[in-house]
Amino acid sequence: MAEKFNHGRSKMVSSYGGVGSVIDTPDASIIIETFDNWGYPNYYDQEIKKHIILDDRLVIRLRTRFPNLKHLVSIPVEKNGWKTKVQPQANYFPKWFYCPHCHRFMHIYDWNEHWDSGKEESDLQCFNPECKGEHLEQVRFVMTCENGHIQDLPWEYWNNREQIVENIELTLNETENIEDDDIEDNNEQESQSKIRLIYKKCCPEQELYYSVSNENTDLSGIHIKCKKCGKSETLKGIFGFSQNCGGRKYWLGLKNGQYQGEPCNKRAKVKIKTSNSIYYANTLSSLWIPEQQILDLSAELRTEIDGIVNDQDFEQKDLEKFARRKGIAIEIINQYLDNTDTAYIPEIVYRQAEYNYFLNKQQPEDQVIKFSQINVSGELNGFEKLVKINRLKKITVQTSFTRNEPIDADSILIDPESGNYQYMVKPQSVSKNSFETHLLPAIENYGEGILFVLDEQKLKEWGKNDIITERVKNIQTHAEDSDWQFHKIEAENLSARKILIHTLSHLLIREFEYVCGYPMSSLQERLYVSENMNGFLISAYDGTDGYLGGLAKLCNNLENLQAIITNAIQRAKECSLDPICYESEGQGVAMLNLAACHSCTLIPDTSCELSNLFLDRRLLIDDEFGYFI
């Protein structure tokens, strides 16, 4: 089903797309299958070298959770049709379709039985001659559980139930004006309804029809009716329905003609298929730096070594012969094969290595990355250093995914069975081999950027204000009241410094849209905040609108850059929703933002690392305690 993909490789490994995600295509929604089904060669096959992305520092970190990991493999790119053996695979989901003309409602397997032998499944046309090839539509509803499974509702039993308790429903017209997640939350809060299905077809010759009323626009206007016995029920109360999860793993594809699954003891609840909460990709990103890299081993040499070791007659002397023949030190080969370094590396420690390298080292001779430090003390108000990065290499890898709730970066590499995992949701691996896989999918992007480093002494003096401390505590209190564990964990170590730097990053991204040739959606932030770090990177990469060179060139004229920063700060004082926004005690998701809204501070979700949360522009501009006063 590779012909269905026209989303670009960046959307195949991102916060909202990847293995296990449900995405829309012009024909229907599909669920992306595990990359094991895409046609990659074995990790020791010579053909795999064409797909390998080299970043030993990242691989070493990933081995905490993936002890057998050998390579990161690149996502295939579609250019004028799929011309490579490695192609993304998917299957239709949800699997229940109805005809908008005759309203016949069946599982795709049943539709298949009625289609002529010459008609392909991908045509998705009604077989009724009166419908004249009407294109089928999918139902909007799916079910997910905390263990990461996803399944269809039991539609074949929907019109055969014991009872339904009345509840308040939102109309379909009303739902168009609010987020899908809010629809589900409102219905769950307003409804204690329980739909009790008998789990038996209404009659032996069941023939279901899915009809939508033109007059009644709420869920009670959608009927599922059997033409044979006349038994009918509406979708009223659907968000109050739950059942034991079937453990379905449609993203693993077919095995012996059946979709795979596993036992599950959780309850599956109803979601809208376009809801953000049905999928959260667990991705980790890395800026390539020469440290911890085995630079003397190319992808080709690595696959040759893997092939030698994987041979059933392998002996150590085979590696020694190979090393002499290739002129490679045997110690380097042993370093590559050594999988014993699996110590857990927190995200903050991993980023500290990047931060230190760009601030204290010189660019490597091979110029894989190109950068230079600029001392701006006394020239840029509030800043100590800039790092102008003309060439930047970023690798992003998808490790797993969750449903219903995201998890923080540090929890991605923690085993849920360990005592250190703090979430109810369980990550699902992107591989059939679970966390024993030898490969993981990744994307490699080149780009440009600017690393901004704030004045450490000024930060310390600024942070002593008691009002600032109270504003941070206000956000932390809201996080404690949130339903999501993710918010609570992120807020545990929240500091005024982090809120300040995060908000400043947003303001500059919004301002750069006017001056450097990139739209906001093409710019990304990367925060470096701890007791030892006080900076942020703004970057752009190929595959978005770049990289064009317009971002790094801003460092060539510090006077002009100061004017841009001044304009960004000034613009932050002029929110169209003031004074409501400026005086807010909590707004946005779980009230985790203070003086920050779409009109003044928020940026596209794809550009922000923290889902547009933990923002407060008053920390920068307030006349009493602002950093830039």
Question: If you average pLDDT over residues 339-368, what whole number do you get?
Answer: 91
Structure tokens at 179: 């987020």
pLDDT at 7: 55
Indicate if the pLDDT at residue 25 is higher than 90.
no
Indicate if the pLDDT at residue 69 is higher than 80.
yes
pLDDT at 199: 93
pLDDT tens digits along 493-547 = 899 999 999 999 999 999 999 998 889 999 999 999 999 999 999 999 875 444 6
pLDDT at 47: 92
Indicate if the pLDDT at residue 170 is higher than 50.
no
Q: What residue type is assigned to position 145 of the chain?
A: C
Question: If you average pLDDT over residues 373-401, what whole number do you get?
Answer: 95
pLDDT at 544: 42
pLDDT at 621: 97
What DSSP string runs through 159-210?
T-BS--------BHHHHTTS-HHHHHHHHHHH------B--S-SSTT--EEE
pLDDT at 190: 38
Structure tokens at 270: 């109803």
Tell me how crowded residue 159 is: count the other CB atoms within 10 A of its CB.
Answer: 23
Whole-angstrom distance, CA of residue 141 vs CA of residue 238? 9
Indicate if the pLDDT at residue 11 is higher than 90.
no
Name the pairing type of β-strands 254-255 and 90-92: unpaired
Q: Which of 368, 389, 449 is nearest to 54 (CA)?
A: 368
CA distances from 268 to 200, 216, 244, 394 (A): 19, 28, 6, 37
Question: If you average pLDDT over residues 468-490, what whole number do you get?
Answer: 96
Asked whether 39 and 88 are in contact (CB, 8 A), the reply is no
CA distances from 623 to 573, 584, 617, 629 (A): 11, 16, 12, 6
pLDDT at 262: 94
Question: If you average pLDDT over residues 267-275, what whole number do you get?
Answer: 95
Residue with more model confidence, 5 or 366: 366
Q: Binning pLDDT at 50, 70 and 90, where does residue 269 land?
A: very high
Asked whether 572 and 564 are in contact (CB, 8 A), the reply is no
Question: If you average pLDDT over residues 470-476, what whole number do you get?
Answer: 97
Whole-angstrom distance, CA of residue 397 vs CA of residue 506? 24
Indicate if the pLDDT at residue 183 is higher than 50.
no
Residues found in the chain? 629
Q: Which residues of 343-379 are buried (b: 16+ CB within 10 A; e: fewer)?
A: eebebbebbebbbebbbeeebeeeebbebebbebeee
Q: 63-77, 81-95, 501-515: which range is least confident on average? A: 81-95
- Tell me what the pLDDT averaged over the chain comes to: 89
Cis previous bond, 416, omega within 30: no
Q: What residue type is assigned to position 45 of the chain?
A: D
pLDDT at 550: 87
Indicate if the pLDDT at residue 73 is higher than 60.
yes
Q: Binning pLDDT at 50, 70 and 90, where does residue 6 land?
A: low
Tell me how crowded residue 1 is: count the other CB atoms within 10 A of its CB.
Answer: 17
pLDDT at 5: 54
pLDDT at 217: 81
pLDDT tens digits along 389-406 = 999 999 999 999 999 999
Q: Write the secondary structure of 472-520 as one string of H (helix), E (strand) and C (coil).
A: HHHHHHHHHCCCCHHHHHHHHCCCHHHHHHHHHHHHHHHHHHHHCCCCH
pLDDT at 163: 59
Asked whether 614 and 475 are in contact (CB, 8 A), the reply is yes
pLDDT tens digits along 547-580 = 667 899 999 999 999 999 999 999 999 999 999 9
Indicate if the pLDDT at residue 177 is higher than 80.
no
3-state SS, residue 612? coil
pLDDT tens digits along 282-329 = 999 999 999 889 988 999 999 999 999 998 888 999 999 999 999 999
pLDDT at 8: 57
Q: Binning pLDDT at 50, 70 and 90, where does residue 122 land?
A: low
Q: Binning pLDDT at 50, 70 and 90, where does residue 187 land?
A: very low
Q: Which of 225, 215, 235, 47 is nearest to 140 (CA)?
A: 235
Q: What is the strand order of the sheet 242-244 is part of?
A: 150-151, 141-144, 267-272, 242-244
pLDDT at 1: 53
pLDDT at 79: 61
Indicate if the pLDDT at residue 234 is higher than 90.
yes
pLDDT tens digits along 410-462 = 999 999 998 899 999 999 999 999 999 999 999 999 999 999 999 999 999 99
Structure tokens at 221: 């206007």
Indicate if the pLDDT at residue 166 is higher than 80.
no
Structure tokens at 392: 């930047």
Q: Binning pLDDT at 50, 70 and 90, where does residue 189 land?
A: very low
Question: If you average pLDDT over residues 207-225, what whole number do you get?
Answer: 91
